[in-house]
A and B are shown apart, each in its own frame.
Chain A
């Protein structure tokens, strides 16, 4: 433990501040990356299911396994899923969607309202892998941001997408979305859509860390609004927290870790939290954990285990 860390002892906790030290052993490291690995498995698994259905005829009980793409899909010939943001834009063009698409909207809305809207961002969206790589590389290369943007810009983008959908009669974001472009072209054939993703990568790497996902993406903004009702949240135990700030350093949306607010709520309540769980393994005090919203007050009231 460095002297510097000792100097920053937090009077509230009355304990010395420890910083995160990566485990020395490979097993320990892998364990500390457990959520990252799970997220990659989930992201690639979804992509692979779409790809396998489109190209290798993967099926289950005679029906295509997962046909379509993230805009709209059908699982096992039974469960339709529709991107609710895309559906909203289409409805604003004054066109009525068929029942299957509307049912798919209901299913997706219900799912993300429960697990957290931006779980889509951290666990499903393929762009997340690209922007995570850019963020990691930016830190590795020691590059500094050259631009500052307000993180609320995404909500203006969201509003603009809805207004333009109504004005132009076209689903405005769907026609330019680099997320849809990447996913579509990975599944149905590669074209210049990958340049959009390359643009995001360079923007995130050279201009602004987490620039796209954390500042601009209207779909992320939509899911952030939806995520306010999330039942899966990161629990925050203020009693053990030494305010070392390591979670904020690792978090791609650090504004959600306002620790005073989190202490009051007992959790990271903001819809902008993607439930990526980066913060959980790196917290030196174990103050952060993945939990059900309903159980959080009880868990935070349990007596502390002695160190």
Chain B
């Protein structure tokens, strides 16, 4: 029997298919590893100026120059099999928080732009967002603590202390409240929180932050959270038919 005339082509096609199958299966395994590494992102607090996670993961070259530049040894690189994406910088506030250097040396050290030079003022950094476990917070349980408020580098803006009435028969409470429009996620509060396990923790903001949507935002016009309700449009008239100055009632009745 003679070899078919197209034997060479057949061999070539078989080889081509084998190569493609090898590349595809290798590529699939490789992609699986990549994706499972990148999925760990929500558990890493990034240095100041870090881009949104997908962009940060793509641009960070894992060189550790930010780690070397940090004067407080706050930053570290994730090792392999860490619960955070391999080789990328992160910090654990309970161990060492970000002390918010005004010259942002970590960002200046970044060669790739994964830490964006667009961040000029460290107070505009959004490394994460502090959230309070009010079940374990000393202040929320009626004790005088307020350490998070007192140690906050953006004091009086990122965390405020407000008065809340306690349950029947107890005194009033002074409770800390975090404001996301000022919290940088530096984690000093988490470091200083005196409870055994911190009752205030910094997490990536999008894990805990909601969004009302446009519809509700419209309803809130004129009311800023924490501020005193605006003065009634019509001063309550003196006399027996005086209406009670219920906060918000005037707003609800506006335009009627």
Give the nearest-CB partner of A66 in chain B.
Answer: B68
Is there a chain A Cβ closer than 8 Å to B125's Cβ? no
Q: Which residues of A contact B (CB under 8 A)?
A: 53-54, 64, 67-69, 71-74, 80, 82-83, 86-87, 90, 93, 95-98, 100-101, 104, 156, 160, 163-164, 167-172, 174-176, 180-181, 184-185, 187-193, 195-196
Given A96-B113, A101-B111, A169 and B58 contact (CB-CB distance below 8 Å)? yes
> For chain B residues 129-150, which have a beta carbon within 8 Å of chain A?
none
In the A-B complex, list the 5 residue pairs whose CB atoms are closest, starting with the nearest.
A191-B79, A98-B113, A72-B63, A193-B80, A192-B81
A174 with B61, Cβ < 8 A, contacts A101-B112, A164-B31 known: yes
* Whole-angstrom distance between the Cβ of B53 and the nearest chain A Cβ: 11
Please count the residue pairs between chain A and chain B whose beta carbons lie under 8 angstroms apart in the complex: 139
Nearest B residue to A53 by beta-carbon distance?
Answer: B68
Report Cα–Cα, A171/B57, bound state, in Å: 8
Cβ contact within 8 Å between A82 and B111? yes
Residues of chain A within 8 A of B27, CB atoms compared? 160, 163-164
Least CB separation from A74: chain B residue: B65
Q: Which residues of B contact A193 (CB under 8 A)?
A: 79-81, 86
Tell me the complex Cα distance, A174–B35, Å: 13
Q: Mark B69-93, 1 if CB is under 8 A from A, else 0.
A: 1000000111111100111000000
- Other CB < 8 Å A-B pairs besides A90-B59, A175-B85, A193-B86, 18 of them? A54-B64, A67-B68, A71-B62, A72-B65, A80-B111, A86-B61, A90-B112, A100-B112, A101-B61, A163-B27, A164-B31, A168-B35, A171-B58, A184-B87, A188-B76, A190-B79, A192-B80, A196-B80
Write out the residue numbers on chain A whose beta carbons fall within 8 Å of the beta carbon of B210: none
Is there a chain A Cβ closer than 8 Å to B109's Cβ? yes
Q: How far is the CB of A23 from chain B (nearest CB, A)?
A: 43
* CB neighbours of B86 from chain A (8 A): 175, 181, 193
**Given A82-B111, A156-B19, A160-B23, A72 contacting B77 (CB threshold 8 A):** no
Q: Is the CB of A180 within 8 A of B87?
A: yes
Residues of B within 8 A of A174 (CB): 61-62, 87
| CB-defined A-B contacts under 8 Å, sample of 19 | A67-B65, A68-B111, A69-B63, A71-B62, A72-B112, A74-B65, A96-B113, A98-B117, A160-B26, A160-B30, A164-B27, A170-B58, A172-B34, A181-B80, A181-B86, A184-B62, A191-B78, A191-B79, A192-B79
Chain A residues with CB under 8 A of B110: 98
Q: Are B111 and A72 in touch, CB under 8 angstroms?
A: yes
Q: How many positions in chain B have a CB within 8 Å of any CB in the partner chain?
A: 41
**CB proximity of A77 to chain B, nearest CB, Å:** 10
The CA-CA distance from A174 to B34 in the complex, in Å, is 10
Q: Judging by beta carbons under 8 Å apart, are A68 and B68 in contact?
A: yes
Interface of chain B residues 38 through 78 with chain A (CB within 8 A): 38, 54-55, 57-59, 61-65, 67-69, 76-78
Most buried by A among B23, B30, B78, B112: B112
The complex places the Cα of A68 from the Cα of B61 at a distance, in Å, of 10
Whether B33 sits at the interface, judged by CB under 8 Å, is: yes
* A19 CA / B57 CA spacing, docked (Å): 54
Which of B22, B86, B109, B110 has its CB near the most chain A CB atoms (within 10 A)?
A: B86
Instruction: Report the separation of the CA atoms of residues A283 and B23 in the bound assembly, to the nearest whole angstrom.
Output: 40
Instruction: Assess the B65–A68 pair: CB atoms within 8 A.
Output: yes
| In the bound complex, CA of A73 to CA of B65 (Å) | 7
Contact A187 B81 (CB under 8 A): no
Bound-state Cα–Cα, A297 to B199, Å: 75
With contacts A71-B61, A87-B61, A174-B62 taken as known, whether A188 is within 8 angstroms of B77 at the C-beta atoms is: yes
User: Does B37 lie at the interface of the complex (its beta carbon under 8 Å from any beta carbon of A)?
Assistant: yes
Rounded to whole angstroms, the CA-CA distance of A64 and B67 in the bound complex is 12
| B61–A195 CB distance below 8 A | no
Indicate whether A95 sits within 8 Å of B63 (C-beta atoms), given known contacts A100-B111, A176-B33.
no
User: Is B111 a contact partner of A64 (Cβ separation < 8 A)?
Assistant: no
Q: Which residues of B contact A68 (CB under 8 A)?
A: 63-65, 68, 111
Alpha-carbon distance between A185 and B86 when the two chains are bound, in angstroms:
11
CA distance A156 to B243 in the complex (A): 82
Cα A239 to Cα B89 with chains together (Å): 57
